[in-house]
Amino acid sequence: MENKIVSYIFGLHPIEEALVSGKEFEKILIQQGNRSEKINEIIRQARANEYPVQFVPLEKLNRITRKNHQGIIGFISPISYQAVEQLIPMIYEAGRMPFLLILDRLTDVRNFGAIARSAYAAGVDAILIPSRGSALINADAMKTAAGALNHLSVCRSDNLKKSIDYLKDSGLRIAAVSEKTDQAIWDTDLSGPIALILGSEEDGISPAYLQKTDIHLKIPMPGPMESLNVSVAAGIACFEVVRQRLKAQ
């Protein structure tokens, strides 16, 4: 069945033309074993622009479209990504303290949109995501974000551990938010330069990223539920930062 939600193009020439014209891609899917000279050139251009490239079985491509895709489908991004290394100096130069959200392998597009909406309302400077394993920013994400993704910076990283190290070197504290700790978010100073990291609902925050955090915080829940939806948790955490910053003024 054709996918009517995500904007995509297919075929060698259309994707090649889109890359040349500067279109941004969420990802490019290529049939496994398809490594012609033209495909190799598309891969080279995509990787030069840090667009994720995935090799998938023919059946996956056929589930997206039954038209003559020539073994390649590209998902067009509705937003423009920014490099976090360019963004952080701009924030400091503007006289502001950076405030970022890092989303580790969040795959639900509506959760992503809801988080973007809360983040934009809370004055978050950017959302940082890994290039692989994250939600596809599609029409559903844009709709749920209620316009926020047209204004909020989104940064995509091929190496999230390296990006976290860059943020730490730039003076940001990295705060993990999950239920797997005893330290309450209200009892921790979050008023300075900060990046909050939240994980997927299935697996939480990756241990490799947890090791790089400066603090690990939880949202106290006196009720019987053991965890919150990640978009709700992100909203609460963002506005705790807002509350502390307003109080510190």
Strand order through the sheet with 194-199: 153-157, 126-130, 99-104, 194-199, 173-177, 215-217
Tell me which fold the domain 8-76 belongs to. 60s Ribosomal Protein L30; Chain: A; (3.30.1330)
Question: Would you state the pLDDT for residue 5?
Answer: 41
Nearest to 203 by CA among 103, 126, 116, 115: 103
Q: Answer whether residue 2 shows pLDDT above 60.
A: no
Return residue ranges of the chain for CATH 3.30.1330.30: 8-76
Q: Answer whether residue 162 shows pLDDT above 90.
A: yes
pLDDT band at 203 (very low <50, low <70, confident <90, very high): confident
Question: Would you state the pLDDT for residue 140?
Answer: 85
- Which CATH entry fits the domain spanning 84-248: 3.40.50.300, 3.40.50.1010, 3.40.1280.10, 3.20.190.10? 3.40.1280.10
Question: Would you state the pLDDT for residue 229?
Answer: 92
Burial-class residue 43 by CB neighbours within 10 Å (0-12, 13-18, 19+): middle
Task: State pLDDT tens for residues 231-241.
Answer: 999 999 999 99
**To the nearest whole number, what is the mean pLDDT of the chain?**
91
Question: Would you state the pLDDT for residue 58?
Answer: 94
Mean pLDDT, residues 111-116: 95
Through-space distance between the first and last CA atoms of the chain, rounded to whole angstroms: 55
Return residue ranges of the chain for CATH 3.40.1280.10: 84-248
Question: What pTM value is reported for the model?
Answer: 0.83
Measured CA to CA, the distance from residue 220 to residue 200 in angstroms comes to 19
